[in-house]
Amino acid sequence: MEPPVRVRIQDAYERIKADIPVGVNPVVKVPLSIWTHNTKLHINEIEPMDTGGGGGTAGGTTGTTGQASTRQVANQSRQVTAMQTQQQVRTNEEILTRIIAQHNQLQQLIAQEGRTRDSSAAALRGWLETWLGAELTKLNGNICRIAVQPPRMATPDQVDGNLFRNGLTVERTRRNGQTSLRYRQAVATTPADSRPAKLAKYRTVGSAWQEWMHGIGGNKPAKNFTAEDIRACKSTYSRRKPLWTLMATLVNAQKAPAWVISKIEEHYKGSVLNITAAIKQDTIMGSLHEDLCIVRAQ
């Protein structure tokens, strides 16, 4: 196994030390050019420049030798710098060339994508025009066919349905091969409300309107109470009836329920029981506020 480089250098220096003149450096500096390219490290030795012949003896003086060495090192440094600059320029040019190539490729892809998108839109537009044209042609044919057909006569069931919607019923009697019709006023019937007829406890005028129109807590609306329901809670129903009547009258006169409630609360203060009693008294005396009165055309 060979010794380390440092040991070999020291051994070589010891062997030639006796033959080296005093003041002469036995180590020769070799200028190198170092650069990278494509992730690789490059190291080249720079050839020494010829400093030219000239007078002087072979031995020369130490000062002259030092000056020549200094000039040589300076020239070599400039040469190294120039080579590195040239190499960097070449590297930059290669990078710029790759960037330009990638940019051109990207522009081509964008242009191709635009052409593809335009062709797809044109194809879709053409398909839509064809489909709409076919559907409109079909619709036009149906309209023309219906237009030339004779009118259809209504069936007896259809006639009965139309009459019932107009508030009439028809009775058909067939005698001696002929059908006689007899029309009567239809009586509209609504299914009975099966919810419990109970009056709730509340503290606002809005709750009174809710109880009259829709009911509270799943109970039947007060406006749908039957005579039997009223007898079961006659006292409470009678006390609240003036307030309900006033609100229903104003709402039937195209007043908004919220407006009616706000006006009642504006002109009457206190509990719902006191408000109802005051409204009853003002109604009897004819002294209701003008906001709560309905002006009837003469």
- pLDDT tens sequence across 129-141: 989 888 998 888 8
Residues in the chain: 298
Query: How far, in Å, CA of 245 to CA of 260, rounded?
Result: 12
Regarding pTM above 0.85, the answer is no
Mean pLDDT of the 26-48 span: 75
> Is it the case that residue 244 has pLDDT exceeding 50?
yes
- Residue 194 has a pLDDT of 83
What are the residues whose beta carbons fall under 8 Å from the beta carbon of 163, sequence distance 6 or more?
Answer: 169, 170, 183, 186
> Is it the case that residue 49 has pLDDT exceeding 60?
no
Which of the four pLDDT bands, split at 50, 70 and 90, describes residue 44? Answer: confident
Amino acid found at 30: V
Query: How far, in Å, CA of 117 to CA of 123, rounded?
Result: 10
Q: What is the mean pLDDT of the chain?
A: 78
Mean pLDDT of the 152-162 span: 59
213, 190 Cβ separation under 8 angstroms: no
